[in-house]
Structure 1
Amino acid sequence: MKVVTRQIKKSTKGFNDIIDLTEDIELFVNEENLAEGQLLVFINGATAAITTIEYEPGLLKDIPEVLEKIAPMDATYHHNETWHDGNGYAHVRASLMNPMVILPVYKNRLVRGTWQQIVLIDFDNRSRNRTITLQFTGHSVL
């Protein structure tokens, strides 16, 4: 059994910035010769999420629009009353999604659908430098 961890950095704009991580993640699988196991993709932070989507213009608009209906930016949040940072909505949105996904690796390839990309969504109210942790557990090519 092998465990391999790598961190990648991404600069974001905040405000529902959606960044495709698929190429970076596939590069990790290839460079480390990962054969079979599970790959955890985790965002370090409480105002962002990791998920899978079809990375296309319609969904890049739909996702922020739906999240605005669920957790509006201009709603009253107790978090804002405590911290006065105006990003209570970002914390709520991130908690409704997930900080991570777990993806299978099989026969030296990341298992995903043809139109399924792995994305980082930054909900914060400012630009950020984000760290994404990739951690593989499984077997590598000998």
Structure 2
Amino acid sequence: MKTFTKKLTFYMGKGHIVRDITADIQAVVNESKIKEGQVTVQAGRSVCIISTIEYEPGCLSDLEKALEKIAPRNDYYEHSKRWNDENGHAHIRSTIVGPSQTFVIMNGKLCLEPWQQIIFGDYCPNEHPEWEVFVCVIGE
């Protein structure tokens, strides 16, 4: 069994940004030359998510509305009291949605339906110059 790992860097700007990274992940799978196996995608920070969605404005708006109900930006969070960084909601969102996902690879391609894209979400309101995503491809 072969393993191939790669670190991707994304420049996101100021928080609450969701980005389609499907092509980036497929490019890593292609580079790995692994045809059958799985790929794990992990956000490098505890304020980010990795998930799938139909990447279109309506679904993205619905996702934001749902997360706002679960972990509103303007609520009080004990985390903010301790660190004074106003991103407690981002940590909760990451914990609920998850910072990583694993996807099946068949014939060298991600097993996703046509309307399913892999997303990287940054929910930290503080500006960061770059975010890291770690990718590990395992298989034959």
Aligned 8 A contact 2:35 2:106 in 1: yes
Aligned residue in 2 for 1:131: 132
Runs of 5+ consecutive residues of structure 1 not aligned to the other structure: none
Aligned residue in 2 for 1:69: 69
Aligned residue in 1 for 2:88: 88
Aligned residue in 2 for 1:119: 119
CA offset digits 1:42-76 (Å, max 9, x no partner):
00111001000000010121111111111111111
Q: C-alpha separation between the residues in 2 aligned to 1:90 and 1:32?
A: 32
Alignment of 1:1-142 (within 5 A): 1-128=1-128, 129-139=130-140
Structure 1 or 2: more strand by fraction: 1
Q: C-alpha separation between the residues in 2 aligned to 1:37 and 1:127?
A: 36
Runs of 5+ consecutive residues of structure 2 not aligned to the other structure: none
Aligned 8 A contact 2:37 2:139 in 1: yes
SS in 1 for 2:112: coil
Post-superposition offset of 1:14: 4.0
TM-score (norm. length: structure 1): 0.94
TM-score (norm. length: structure 2): 0.95
- Length, aligned pairs only: 139
Letter in 1 for 2:104: P
* Percent identical residues: 34
